[in-house]
Amino acid sequence: MFPAPEGVRGIGDDCAVIPRSDGVDTLVSTDLLTEGVHFLRHRIEPRELGWKAAAVNLSDIAAMGGKPVDTFLSLAIPKDCDEGFIAQMMEGYADASRHYGTPLLGGDTCASADALTLNVTVLGECPHGKALLRSAALPGDAIYVTGTLGDSAAGLKALLEALPETPLTQALIRRHYHPVPRIAEGQQIAACTKAGAAMDLSDGLASDLRHILKASGCGASIDLKALPLSPELLDFCREYGADPLELALCGGEDYELLFTLRPGCAPPLPCSCIGRITSGKQLIWEGSERDFKGFEHF
């Protein structure tokens, strides 16, 4: 129903890619966060909610290797949400805006019958034709991720199960509430002439990798022993009897980058090689008999 015009990439990637006449491609991403689905209003610090709303959108620009430029925020505010909450939430949003140099240029504020709802639109840019796409993986590519996986999911588990507040659980909860968009990393990948596909990890590797495989028409083999797991995640799993693989593969909201590079290319940034793209359609988890699925929001 919604064909994109010639030369424009519309629905199906982390951002739309719109060529301009000045040799720059405009990148656009939009994401809606609503109470009871993406966050629990009475369990999140408002300042963290504001940060997170901005950060997860900036992460979509990072996923394309772009530079985020400016943002737009729509807010639907229920009657029982006080001004102090909104003011602190906007402080968190402003923290992210300042930190990443992405001014808030507009938006909309209205009443909500029930749920606090935020919609963020981010505009970014990259040199024409240089955006990293989900569809650009080729058989033989090595598969990488930045950072570590599963920390955010462990933090969410600590929150939902009201586990004791310790330095360990607090560090993981912070990973859940305070995602760091990998903007510089995305640009480093995009600048690499041997880059393949890329996206950001919002729904868990098991789910997100499938998007790349589908868009690229490939399969993959993932070495489970190579997954980057933080010492905090491993401590947490020992202490609370959780499965690190489950958290790392099926937990969401890491906002790390998942990307591929052509064979023999040295990665231009610190990252972990976790497998390779194959010519079949299968996704193989080396080291386990299990299959893994992605993350479901509340």
Query: Contact residues for a second copy (CB under 8 A)?
Result: 1-5, 8-11, 15-16, 18, 20-22, 24, 26, 28-32, 34-38, 69-70, 72-76, 90-91, 94, 97, 103-108, 110-115, 117, 119, 121, 123, 297
CB of 148 to a second copy, least distance (A): 26
Q: Is 258 helix (H, G, I), strand (E, B) or coil?
A: strand
Number of C-beta neighbours around residue 80 at 10 A? 9
Q: What's the CA gap between 283 and 288, in Å, rounded?
A: 12
CB of 4 to a second copy, least distance (A): 6
Report the chain's terminal Cα–Cα distance, integer Å.
Answer: 30
CB of 262 to a second copy, least distance (A): 28
**In 3D, which of 74, 86, 76 has the Cα closest to residue 110?**
76
DSSP state of 211: H
Nearer to a second copy, 24 or 284 (CB): 24
Nearer to a second copy, 291 or 296 (CB): 296
DSSP code string of 36-60: TTTB-TTTS-HHHHHHHHHHHHHHH
Structure tokens at 291: 């299959």
Nearer to a second copy, 95 or 235 (CB): 95
**In 3D, which of 278, 175, 296, 288 has the Cα closest to residue 227?**
288
Nearer to a second copy, 97 or 188 (CB): 97
**In 3D, which of 48, 59, 231, 258 has the Cα closest to residue 144?**
258
CB of 65 to a second copy, least distance (A): 17
CB of 8 to a second copy, least distance (A): 6
CB of 106 to a second copy, least distance (A): 4
**In 3D, which of 129, 134, 156 has the Cα closest to residue 251?**
156
**In 3D, which of 129, 102, 125 has the Cα closest to residue 27?**
125
Nearer to a second copy, 74 or 278 (CB): 74
CB of 44 to a second copy, least distance (A): 15
If you search the block for the tokens 């998942």, which residue do you land on? 258
Nearer to a second copy, 8 or 184 (CB): 8
Nearer to a second copy, 112 or 221 (CB): 112
Residues with Cβ < 8 Å from 203, sequence gap 6 or more? 252, 294, 295
